[in-house]
Amino acid sequence: MNKEIKIAIIGLGYVGLPLARLFATKYTVVGFDINKARISELMSGTDTTLEVSDEVLQAVLIPNTQYPIPNGDSLTTGLYCSSNLHDISDCNYYIITVPTPVDKKNRPVLTPLLKASETVGAVLKKGDIVIYESTVYPGATEEDCVPVLESVSGLKYNKDFYVGYSPERINPGDKEHTVEKILKVTSGSTPEVGEKVNDFYKSVITAGTYLAPTIKVAEAAKVIENSQRDINIAFVNELAKIFNLMDINTNDVLEAAGTKWNFLPFKPGLVGGHCIGVDPYYLAQKAQEYGYNPEIILAGRRMNDSMGEYVASQVIKTMIKKDIKIKDAEILILGITFKENCPDVRNTKVVDVIAALKEYNTNITIYDPWVNTDEVKQEYGLDSVKEIPKDKFDAVVLAVAHDKFKELDFKYLRKDNSVIYDVKGVLNEGIDGNL
Ligand SMILES: NC(=O)c1ccc[n+]([C@@H]2O[C@H](COP(=O)([O-])OP(=O)(O)OC[C@H]3O[C@@H](n4cnc5c(N)ncnc54)[C@H](O)[C@@H]3O)[C@@H](O)[C@H]2O)c1
């Protein structure tokens, strides 16, 4: 039992909730979020991101009737969720897991991070530790967030309170690599605090931890993990463009090259979401502030951002080759989430494919059994359906590799003369085109 440690987790999204649930198996955790609807959903025992099952969430929830826990009570583990600042005021470990997006010009937006720092600053006490988990550029924790903590709390950094940075590596929708099973990089604002933060995570992360020498090293490590992925995917996307011109199947080439022991198994595709398609911009911006123009990082971003339009042009080309009339053609898009087997539609690049196809005056139907259709409408102004359509289509574009789509019988979806375009390269037979 850990009566001396009480944790607040600020931001209960894809990262914050699984982490809060995990810590709640050993400690008292208060999950704090400004989104009141999210708090009531979680307190009713449901997670709409589907990262934590209802059963697992309910097993740790502390009901309203039992919170605050009276001093000396034996109840020392569990999760209580709240939007009330007072409920996190007696915590001593604060973990910040709020979004770090980019704006329309791809510049980092630190507002949620700075607002969350203000929240924590308002309740910060001597001896507390604030750990940031959001993905940022090197320097964001110490140069952007710590000054906010200091000015709001009136306390002195590394004298009255301490800071850590421990990036999250979870992969939404992945039920195998869950938070406790992923080795976690940790760091602290002094060597002693580094050890303390490391021990803190080690107490729940079964895969173990890696204590980085400084906060900046830990920040940089996270941002390059995603940048490396982005650049590798950009390279295979470029290969796909080249091999399509040469009429060579890219997947066949990758499979052949993959027989070499050190060939990396990346696949072409759309790069969406709020990590791989966003984080490289954080590193790029910081590099530019130091007077360095990051050519490879930004070229990778440009290549990956161009893929939506490219996929649409390939679909249209394939239809024309089969003499299918483009104007008013009925096209079915399978999947609109940013990746497979999860309901997350934020920053999905499937919308780029749809927008480009609409430019050809085609009619689009979007089928995705995973999404909240209201969210798709609200975020993108697009109608989508969760039930498989009964109509037949001139083209079917598999945009997201949800497992459910691999079981579909395409003959019920396609007209006699039609196109099946497999963006993800997961279908085996009857495909007319793929990346
Ligand atoms: N989702 C992933 O796969 C993933 C993986 C690794 C790292 N990350 C990083 O983790 C961070 C969080 O990402 P996420 O996907 O969990 O975001 P998210 O949007 O799912 O969740 C963020 C939550 O924070 C809340 N929030 C926003 N501002 C707040 C504030 N000022 N105070 C309290 N709550 C606030 C929101 O209401 C939301 O519930 C980002 O930096 C992201 O890059 C995400």
**pLDDT tens-place string over residues 210-227:** 999 999 999 999 999 999
C-alpha 346 – ligand 1 centre gap (Å): 12
Nearest atom within ligand 1 for CA of residue 11: 24
pLDDT digits (tens, 9 = 90+) for 317-334: 999 999 999 999 999 999
Predicted structure pTM score = 0.93
Tell me which of 81, 91, 145, 275 is the catalytic residue: 275
Nearest atom within ligand 1 for CA of residue 15: 16
C-alpha 240 – ligand 1 centre gap (Å): 33
Q: Which residues contact 74 (CB under 8 A, 6 or more apart)?
A: none
- Number of Cβ within 10 Å of residue 26's Cβ equals 15
Pick the residue with more confidence: 428 or 249? 249
For residue 169, the 8-state DSSP code is -
Q: Give the count of alpha carbons within 13 A of 271, CB side only.
A: 28
- Give the mean pLDDT of the chain: 95
Question: Residue 70's pLDDT band (boundaries 50, 70, 90)?
Answer: low
Residue 274 confidence (pLDDT): 85
Between CA 390 and CA 395 the distance in angstroms is: 14
Between CA 173 and CA 364 the distance in angstroms is: 26
State the residue for tokens 């969406």. Answer: 272
Residue 22 confidence (pLDDT): 98
Tokens of residue 397, six digits: 């574009």
C-alpha 427 – ligand 1 centre gap (Å): 33
Distance from chain centroid for Cα 53: 18
Is 275 in the active site? yes
pLDDT digits (tens, 9 = 90+) for 255-298: 999 999 999 999 999 999 889 999 999 999 999 999 999 999 99
Q: Which residues contact 367 (CB under 8 A, 6 or more apart)?
A: 332, 333, 334, 335, 384, 385, 386, 387, 388, 389
Ligand 1 site residues, Cβ closer than 6 angstroms: 10-16, 32-35, 38, 97-100, 112, 115-116, 119, 134-135, 168, 170, 172, 274-275
Tell me the average pLDDT across 113-128: 98
State the residue for tokens 């050890």. Answer: 195
- Helix, strand or coil, per DSSP, at residue 393: strand
Among 164, 148, 7, CA closest to 81: 7
Q: Is the pLDDT of residue 64 over 90?
A: no
Residue 229 confidence (pLDDT): 96
Between CA 261 and CA 326 the distance in angstroms is: 44
Among 332, 341, 340, CA closest to 365: 332
C-alpha 164 – ligand 1 centre gap (Å): 17
Contact 134, 96 (CB under 8 A): yes
Type of residue at 409: D
Q: Is the pLDDT of residue 85 over 90?
A: yes
Residue 74 confidence (pLDDT): 56
Residue 179 confidence (pLDDT): 95
Among 142, 190, 181, 187, CA closest to 164: 187
C-alpha 39 – ligand 1 centre gap (Å): 14
Ligand 1 pocket mutation pick from 178, 219, 274, 347 by most atoms within 8 angstroms of CB? 274
Between CA 249 and CA 226 the distance in angstroms is: 27
For residue 145, the 8-state DSSP code is I
Contact 334, 369 (CB under 8 A): no
Residue 1 confidence (pLDDT): 43
Type of residue at 81: C
Distance from chain centroid for Cα 98: 12
Q: Is the pLDDT of residue 75 over 60?
A: no
Between CA 309 and CA 314 the distance in angstroms is: 9
Between CA 100 and CA 8 the distance in angstroms is: 19
Between CA 249 and CA 244 the distance in angstroms is: 7
Tokens of residue 88, six digits: 């996190």
- Helix, strand or coil, per DSSP, at residue 387: coil
- Helix, strand or coil, per DSSP, at residue 414: strand
Nearest atom within ligand 1 for CA of residue 134: 41
Question: Residue 425's pLDDT band (boundaries 50, 70, 90)?
Answer: confident
| Phi, psi of 320, rounded to the nearest 5 degrees | -60, -40
Nearest atom within ligand 1 for CA of residue 113: 31
Between CA 142 and CA 218 the distance in angstroms is: 12
Ligand 1 pocket mutation pick from 9, 10, 12, 15 by most atoms within 8 angstroms of CB? 15
